[in-house]
Amino acid sequence: MSISIMSQSELCKGGCLMTSVIFMGTPDFSVPVLEGLVKHGYVVKAVVTQPDKKVGRKQKITKSPAKLAAEKLNLPVFQPVKLSGSEELDNLIAMHADLIVTAAYGQFLPTKFLKSVKIAAVNVHGSLLPKYRGGAPVQYSLLNGDAKTGITIMEMVKKMDAGDIYAQKALKIEPDDTTGSLFTKLAILGRDLLLETLPKIIDGSVRKIPQDPDKVVFSPNISKKQEKITLSMTATEANNLIRALNPDPGAYLMVDGKRLKVWKAKVSKDQTKLEAGSLVSNKNRFAISFANHTILDLLELQPAGKKRMTVKNFLNGQGSKFKPEEKIIDD
């Protein structure tokens, strides 16, 4: 749709199209995208996010980051437990928005909803599709030791993350990156790429590229079983898991039958002949042997029932009781 065929009432002060948007997102990743849309003159008719949830031992009711951002911007918020078949869905369809924009919303969108908008349903996805379709693309890029990740702006279709690609931009993964740090970087990259791409989608000049079905890789949500660091892993594989599960839910080792969460570690250049799961050293470091003679230095830990602590504090307490060369990790 070009500016020439639109009325003056449909133009915003900055000269941009007064395009209406239904925004859908939940975590921190979604917030810069929402804020960017508002700042650039898009009319956000509704923000759809996951319901408030109970968090922590005290089960405190907590709003999603997207909801908090929407409230600051005085935007209407919808929180259906299940979007499909809900009253909220009927209300959203009745808005006849120009666009749906999603950024890590967390639910499947019914086809009739996708088809209800005038221009397109667009998703900001945290990977370079077709690699890593699914709910944990950032985590799997770290788990697999990838050199890069990125953002894909894509058309939404019924099948999960299978729509045509509007635009992509890559991001280098640094050695100390975690899922948390990558999400922060990708949120900004996603916001900027979306805002660059939307005008081309609106005026029809964008060139869509179909995904290659032979290159599809899936990234399902991380399971409870995957949270455990096993002794079949090399130090690099264990470190990749630790980075992938930071800040949530955290990777752990089993020590004396109890969970020891590991939030930060570093692969040692040294090698060892000790059996995997053995203590290499607890003198000024807490080093554990892993598969293929590799060694991992644990730098930030959290014993069961305790707060996160540095390795120095750990060694001054629980970590001092172990003896070098003994196997201390339960498989």
**pLDDT band at residue 294 using 50, 70 and 90 as cut-offs:** very high
Does one domain contain both 291 and 192? no
Nearest 5 degrees, angle CA 85-CA 91-CA 95?
Answer: 130
- What is the per-residue pLDDT across 58-93, written as a single tens digit (0 to 9) for each? 889 999 999 999 999 999 999 999 999 999 999 999
Same domain, 159 and 302: no
Whether 92 and 186 share a structural domain: yes
Count each helix (H run) and each strand (E run) in the chain, helices first. 8, 18
Verify that 120 and 183 share a domain, yes or no.
yes
Percent of the chain with pLDDT over 90: 92
User: Which CATH number belongs to the domain containing residue 59 in this structure?
Assistant: 3.40.50.170
The reply to whether 71 and 196 lie within a common domain is yes
C-alpha 135/C-alpha 155 separation (Å) is 17
pLDDT digits (tens, 9 = 90+) for 223-276: 999 999 999 999 999 999 999 999 999 999 999 899 999 999 999 999 999 999
Look at residues 163, 189, 218 and tell me which one is the last residue of a structural domain.
218
For 67, the token pair is: 């909801």
pTM of the model: 0.92
Question: What is the number of domains present in the chain?
Answer: 2
49 and 143, same domain (yes or no): yes
CATH number for the domain spanning 288: value is 3.10.25.10
Check whether residue 195 and residue 85 sit in a common domain.
yes
Check residue 56 and give its pLDDT.
Answer: 80
Asked if residue 208 and residue 231 are part of one domain, the reply reads no
Compute CA distances 50 → 85, 95, 96, 253, whole Å.
16, 20, 22, 32
Average pLDDT (294-315) is 96
> What's the domain range around 230?
225-330
Residue 275 and residue 230 share a domain: yes
